[in-house]
Chain A
Amino acid sequence: MPHLPDATDPSPLIHARGLTKRFGSFTAVDAIDFDVAPGESFGFLGPNGAGKTSAMRMIGCVSPVTSGTLRVLGHDPASHGPQIRARLGVVPQQDTLDNELTVRENLVIYGRYFGLSRAECGRRADELLDFAQLAERSGDQVEHMSGGMKRRLTIARSLINEPELMLLDEPTTGLDPQARHLLWDRLYRLKQRGVTLVLTTHYMDEAEQLCDRLVVMDKAKIVAEGSPRSLIERYSTREVTELRFAPGIGETLDGRLEGLAERIEHLPDRILLYADDGEAAAAAVHQRGLQPEAVLVRRSSLEDVFLRLTGRSLAD
């Protein structure tokens, strides 16, 4: 169910009903409904090919809507594409930096696309270089930078027009943990400043860190919607007990785990017991005389929500 803003809510920055994208006979986005309110951080969580990028490109007004309603910043992308794009900050999934130019030149030239004066572009570029912690690399050619730096530059670049709405398509995919945390920190600061963020990810920790509210997408459809916490409450138990058995043992357990948890998931490499008290479930496993090689009790995550909703694991 889409979140319906009540009467006191300001009008949504994005409003989508029955939003659909087809490529020929293939449906990449299948009649999805959602709203994004000002100041909110909104996420699309889903595996490869779920349709996240296709949805983001429609919101970014670069890919025409096949059918359904889409309003971005109150306007129709079909008739007001350039005007809407003037107020967006876009971080595409694939980097689109100019490798031949320097870090600073990339920022300045991007500002020029928005019709800003050269002086203004320069001023904002310097500010953004500080924000992205790239000031020391200002004069370096982009080609020689690491993936994390390029991503930070792309985010800095998307801020040059002081956007009201940011669209981030997998902002941290392919980065090492340190680079991801640095990026999360920068995005968190933007969120604190009241910038509305819409992001896609297939990392549940990223979604949990950054999103106030998210939709889980699978096979072109939205399968659930809510805050990370509410989704976990609704679709999972408080805790999860992960059991790993020696190879071959897992298949012989038929029925022996019955009744130990609210729900049991058999994955190729482990068995998940969904119970509010994970330790109690682990103890019960031992009482039944089972001897798993490893036992891990953890809190439920969005990964578990996804598994519950789709029967598949989110991780690649």
Chain B
Amino acid sequence: MASLAHPRTTFGRVFEHRFRQYRRTFRASLFSSFLLPVLFLTAMGLGLGAYVDDGTSEALGGVPYLVFLAPGLLAATAMQSAAFEATFPIMGGLVWNRTFHAMFATPISGRDVALGNLAWITVRLTLITTVFTIMIVLFGAASSPLISLAIPAAVLTGLAFAAPIAAFSATQRTVEKFNAVFRFGITPLFLFSGTFYPVDQLPLLLQPIAWLTPLYHGVALTRALSLGTITEQPILALVHLAVLLTFVGVGTVLAVRNISRRLVRG
């Protein structure tokens, strides 16, 4: 009789599967995680920044545009990668390759499948944001050693999207609605959540909407760490953290529920 692994560690086997898949595309993927920040920081930070910095930069908290922008881009990139990882690979496992169903025929549970995938996304995000953060430092765009804590803050931002989006993906049979998620969710958030300019520059009507989105809180927290201003408003930072954790927590519960249901349905 086959031995049974400890139930609390079985999701690690799902993680291992995802890691094996990743090894095949590792080089290409690592290359693009270096390339992306370089492109963004050069074009937006240095190029656009040269114009912005000519005027008054008071709205930006008195720092050069590149320094303002870099942590915002870090958090927004985590969001984008997370959204991608929580859509297509989940659809792949449930519908295309049906590899999650293969796992479910063994002692692996639906909970393991959900948690193993989220654990894998966490590691992916850590890799991407670490590389991004190194580039920020190399561009001279970090003004506090607290920038190292921006990595977990950005990962948390990504997970605040990955968990609920994975829960959504588990209810879909085709990728049709994924386009809508990106077009009407991820892209507008990228533009309107304080990544490129402070949210208080938005029309008053739009500002409360921004506050409801996890990216706003993720950008704010990541930026407060990168600029070192977190010590000025520690309570506000805790609020950002609490919002992000809520999204991760609720999203994870829903992801476990939806993926389990889907596996049972067949």
- Which residues in A have some Cβ–Cβ distance to B below 8 Å? 53, 57, 60, 62-64, 81-83, 85-88, 90, 92, 94-101, 105, 109-110, 112-116, 157, 161-162, 164
Contacts and interface: CB of A to CB of B under 8 A. Distances in A.
Given A105-B20, A162-B2, A113 B264 contact: no
A83 B4 CA distance: 7
A115 B105 contact: no
Interface stretch (B30-38, B48-56, B95-103): B95-103
Contact of B4 (A86, A109, A112, A162): A86
A87 B106 CA distance: 8
Interface string B1-19: 1111101001001001100
Contacts of B5: 114-115
A96 B264 CA distance: 15
Given A62-B263, A161-B2, A100 B21 contact: yes
Identify the interface centre among B1, B7, B98, B105: most chain A CB within 10 Å of its CB. B105
Contact of A98 (B4, B97, B109, B264): B97
A96 B2 contact: no
Given A83-B107, A87-B1, A109 B98 contact: no
Contact of B108 (A90, A100, A113, A157): A113
Contacts of B103: 113
Contact of A109 (B7, B20, B105): B20
Nearest to B6: A115
Contacts of B99: 96-98
Contact of A94 (B3, B7, B20, B98): B98
A64 B109 CA distance: 14
Interface string B62-106: 000000000000000000000000000000000001110111111
A101 B13 CA distance: 15
Nearest to A105: B20
B27 interface: no
B140 interface: no
Interface in B174-211: none
Interface of B: 1-5, 7, 10, 13, 16-17, 20-21, 24, 97-99, 101-109, 263-264, 266
Nearest to B19: A109
Nearest to B9: A115
Given A87-B1, A115-B4, A161-B2, A62 B105 contact: yes
Contact of A88 (B4, B10, B16, B105): B105
B17 A98 contact: yes
11 contacts: A62-B105, A82-B7, A82-B108, A85-B105, A86-B1, A86-B107, A96-B97, A96-B101, A99-B97, A100-B24, A113-B103
Contacts of B7: 82
Nearest to A99: B97
A164 B101 CA distance: 21
A268 B117 CA distance: 53
Given A62-B263, A92-B101, A100-B24, 14 more contacts: A53-B266, A62-B101, A63-B264, A82-B7, A90-B105, A92-B105, A96-B102, A98-B102, A99-B97, A112-B16, A114-B2, A161-B2, A161-B106, A162-B2
B3 A115 contact: yes
B143 to A, nearest CB: 42
Given A95-B98, A101-B21, A57 B107 contact: no
Contacts of A83: 4, 107
Given A109-B20, A112-B16, A116-B2, A97 B106 contact: no
A96 B98 contact: yes
Enumerate the 4 nearest inter-chain pairs by beta-carbon distance, A residue then B residue, closest first: A115-B5, A96-B102, A113-B106, A82-B107
Contacts of B2: 86-87, 114-116, 161-162
Given A85-B105, A90-B105, A97 B13 contact: no
Nearest to A118: B16
B266 A112 contact: no
B98 A86 contact: no
A85 B106 contact: yes
A73 to B, nearest CB: 9
A98 B99 CA distance: 6
Contacts of B13: 112-113, 115
Nearest to A100: B21
